[in-house]
Amino acid sequence: MKFEITQGLTARVTDVDDALVDPAFLVRMAELPKLGSADVLDQRRDGDVVHQDVRFLFRAELSRAVTRVVDPALMTWIERSVCDLTRHETTCEIIPDHYGGLLTGRYRSAIVEQRTGSLRTIIGELKVKMPLVGAKVEGAIIGGLKANAAAQVGLLDAFIAGR
């Protein structure tokens, strides 16, 4: 299932870039409504390119049909990102810790300057390979991503303002 998310932010592009690779901000992502935890596993810089792995735990209400097949406590994944701070672009692969053959995902984000801040656009695709319930799980995960993206705007703005 393809998805697109936009975030209107009050901060400048470079401040948003810096926050999205700041371990102090990344662990605060656990405060978002559909996440149970956020842990920075690895981060390394090569000039203006940051490579990072962050593990997340998905927390959302799932239907009984889905929970018969998937244990919500095992819905953890690593976001393996490459963030180009010069181009203000990130590519990310979603790597499930469990159910690896059932879920694939990737997205690309770009941040552009606006008159009153910046605009971040996230375009991606998520595929859940489960007969009968795959589309429902995809919908639940993408719904969680959209809810988190909306809440992340306030979290980013507050984090940047507090620096």
94, pLDDT greater than 70: yes
- Which of 134 and 154 is assigned the larger pLDDT? 154
Q: Are the beta carbons of 73 and 98 closer than 8 angstroms? A: no
What is the number of structural domains in the chain? Answer: 1
Nearest to 89, CA basis, from 116, 117, 50, 59: 50
Question: Residue 100 has what pLDDT?
Answer: 76
What is the domain-level CATH number for residue 71?
A: 3.30.530.20
Cα 41 to Cα 7, 9, 44, 54, 72: the distances in Å are 26, 27, 11, 6, 21
99, pLDDT greater than 70: yes
Cα 38 to Cα 24, 29, 157: the distances in Å are 11, 6, 19
65, pLDDT greater than 70: no
Averaged confidence pLDDT in the chain: 90
List the beta bridge partners of residue 8.
119
34, pLDDT greater than 80: no
Question: Residue 102 has what pLDDT?
Answer: 84
Nearest to 28, CA basis, from 17, 19, 41: 19
Which helix (H) or strand (E) is 15 found in, with range? helix 13-20
Which residue range(s) make up the domain with 68? 2-161
pTM of the predicted model as reported, rounded to 2 decimal places: 0.89
44, pLDDT greater than 80: yes
84, pLDDT greater than 80: yes
49, pLDDT greater than 90: yes
Rounded to whole angstroms, the Cα distance separating 59 from 72 reads 7
**Average pLDDT estimate for 98-113:** 91
- Torsion sign over Cα 131, 133, 137, 142: positive
